[in-house]
Amino acid sequence: MSRLLIAGRQRLEGEVSVQGAKNSALPIIAATLLTKGENVIFNCPRLSDVEASCAILRYLGGKAQRSDGALLINCDGVNQSEIPDSLMRRTRSSIVFLGAVLARTGRARLSFPGGCEIGPRPIDMHLKALRELGAEIEEKHGVLECRAPYGLRGAKIALSFPSVGATEDVMIAAALAGGTTTISNAAREPEIRDLADYLNKCGAEIYGAGEGVIVIEGVSSLHSAAHTIIPDRIVAATLMSCAAVTGSEIVLRDAVASHLGAVIPVLEEGGCRVNLTDRDIRLKAPKRLRSMRIVRTMPYPGFPTDAQAPLMAAACAADGTTVFIENIFENRYRHIPELARMGAAVRTEGKVAVVEGVPRLYGAAVEATDLRGAAALVTAALCAEGSTSIGGVRYLERGYEDFDLVLSSLGADIKKV
C-alpha cells in the first residue's frame, strides 16, 4: 500500500491548473446512460472514483475509454439493469446510477452504496423522490429492487434537505419522464448546473439549475454530446489552504472564483491576499496565518463541508483560535486525532471543533481514514517541522489527481512510495 512522505516547511510557488470536478464527473458519467451515440467528456479527472463509475458503465454494457485527454463513453450496448454489490461499494456516488438505470431500462437492481465513512448519508430522499416519479421500490436485505411498470412520469418533488445526490438522481431520471417535474428545495451547487448543462446539450429541457427550484420538461430521447467538466472548487480550496499554511504565493489556473465565494473571504480573514482575474486566482499568504474566528459549513453557497478539513489543518498552525461548526456530516472530524499526533490542539464537542493555533506542527506517522481527511493531513504535513508519513493514500486518490505531482511542481518535497 502506498504512503506519502512529506518534508515540511517548504514554501510553495508557481502556477498550477485545477483539475476537473470529481463531483461533476460522477453524475455526468451516470447520465450518459440515457444517451445514444458517443459522448466526449473533456477535463474528466483521473480518479479511482471516476474509474469505479466507468466500471459500472462497462458492466451494464457500455463502453468507456480514455483518448487524447478525453473520456469517450458510448452506452448504445447497455443491456443490464443490475449493478453488483462489489461495484456499488466502491463509491458513494454509485447511488446516482439508480435514477439513470431506471430511466434507461425501466427496472434496476442494486445494493446500497459504499464510500467514506463520514456519517449517515441516507438515500431515503432518493427513494421517496423516485417513487413520486412512478417507481416501485422494494428494499430486501440491503438490495433495492426497482421497477417502473408504467414508465416514469413528472411530479412535484419537495426535498426535505437540499441534497446534492437526490437532486442529481431526480434530474437524470426526470429528463426522460413523461410530463413536467419540479424539484423544490433543490441543491444549488455548481456541479448541479454542470450536470444540467450536459443534459441540455443532449436534448434535455432543464431550467433553473443552480437555483432553489428546478423544472424538468421530460423529452422522448437524448443524444450524445461533447462537454467540458468544470474546475474542481474543492481541489482549488485545498491548494489555497496548502499555500496559506506555508506562507506561499501561488496562481491557480482554470479556477472559477465565484464557486469559491464562501472560501475566499475566510482566507482573507486569515491574512491572505487574493487577486482574481478571468479563470485565475492568485493567493499570497502572510508568513504566519491569522485565526479565522468562526467557520460554519452549509449547503452551497455556504462554506463547503468538503473544504473544512484542509482549512482546519491550516488553522492548526495559525496565530489564534478558530472555531469550526460542521452542519452537514456528523462524523467529519475523523482527521483530528491524526492532526493531534502532529501537535495540533483541537477540542471537539458535537459538531463544534475549537482549534487553538500552535507555534509549529511536527512530522509524524499518520493514517488517513477518508478523502478530505487525507487532504487535511497533507496540508498539515507541508508546514510541519521534519518529515511526515501519511498512510491511506487510496482515499486521497478518490478525489485528487496526482496530488503529489501537483504539489511537487509548486516546490513541495513530497513523494509517493
Q: What angle do CA 347, 348, 349 make, to 5 degrees?
A: 135
| pLDDT for position 46 | 97
Is the domain of 224 the same as that of 235?
no
On whether both 384 and 251 belong to a single domain, the answer is yes
Helix H segments across 202-350? 233-245, 264-269, 308-315, 336-341
How many CB atoms are closer than 10 A to CB 109? 15
Query: Any alpha helices (H) in 17-96, and if so which ranges?
Result: 22-31, 48-60, 85-88
Check the annotation: does 306 bind a ligand: yes
Q: What is the full DSSP assignment across 223-263?
A: E--EEEPPB-HHHHHHHHHHHHHTT-EEEEET--GGGGTTT
In this structure, the strands spanning 13-17 and 213-217 are unpaired
> In terms of domains, do 51 and 165 share one?
yes
Tell whether 64 and 132 lie within a shared domain.
yes
- The pLDDT value given to residue 118: 45
Q: Specify whether 59 is located in the same domain as 14.
A: no
Query: What is the pLDDT at residue 145?
Result: 95
Amino acid sitting at position 47: L
Q: Is the peptide bond before 301 cis (omega within 30 degrees of 0)?
A: yes
Which of 55, 64, 59 is CA-nearest to residue 35?
64
Give the end of a domain, one of 195, 228, 261: 228
In the annotation, is 116 catalytic?
yes
CA distance 250 to 242: 10
Residue with cell 423522490: 129
CATH number at residue 159: 3.65.10.10
Q: How far is CA 247 from the centre of its chain?
A: 27
| Closest CA relative to residue 119, chosen from 378, 327, 397 | 327
For residues 225 and 312, give the distance between their C-alpha atoms in angstroms, rounded to a whole number: 40
List the catalytic residue out of 44, 54, 75, 116: 116
40 has which bridge partners? 72, 226
274: β partners: 283
Q: Is 351 annotated as a binding residue?
A: no
Same domain, 181 and 247: no
236, 116: one domain? no
- Looking at the structure, do residues 138 and 256 belong to the same domain, yes or no? no
Residues 155, 284: one domain? no
- Is 22 annotated as a binding-site member? yes
Spatial neighbors of 362 by CB under 8 A, at least 6 apart, are: 342, 343, 384, 385, 386
Per-residue pLDDT, 123: 87
> Which range marks the domain in which residue 263 is found?
4-19+231-416
**Do the bridges between strand 387-391 and strand 82-83 make them parallel or antiparallel, or are there none, so unpaired?**
unpaired
23 is in an annotated binding site: yes
Query: Do 14 and 47 sit in the same domain of this protein?
Result: no
Last residue of a domain, one of 228, 260, 276: 228
368 and 264 share a domain?
Answer: yes
Do 196 and 337 belong together in one domain? no
Among 228, 258, 281, the domain-final residue is: 228
Q: How many domains in the chain?
A: 2
- Segment (H or E) for 169: helix 164-174
Written as tens digits, the pLDDT of the chain (417 aa) is: 899 999 999 999 999 999 999 999 999 999 999 999 999 999 999 999 999 999 999 999 999 999 998 999 999 999 999 999 999 988 878 899 999 999 999 999 998 876 554 444 468 999 999 999 999 999 888 899 999 999 999 999 999 999 999 999 999 999 999 999 999 999 999 999 999 999 999 999 999 999 999 999 999 999 999 999 999 999 999 999 999 999 999 999 999 999 999 999 999 999 999 999 888 999 999 999 999 999 999 999 999 999 999 999 999 999 999 999 999 988 889 999 999 999 999 999 999 999 999 999 999 999 999 999 999 999 999 999 999 999 999 999 999 999 999 999 999 999 999
Q: Give the type of residue at 346.
A: V
**Residue 19 DSSP SS3:** coil
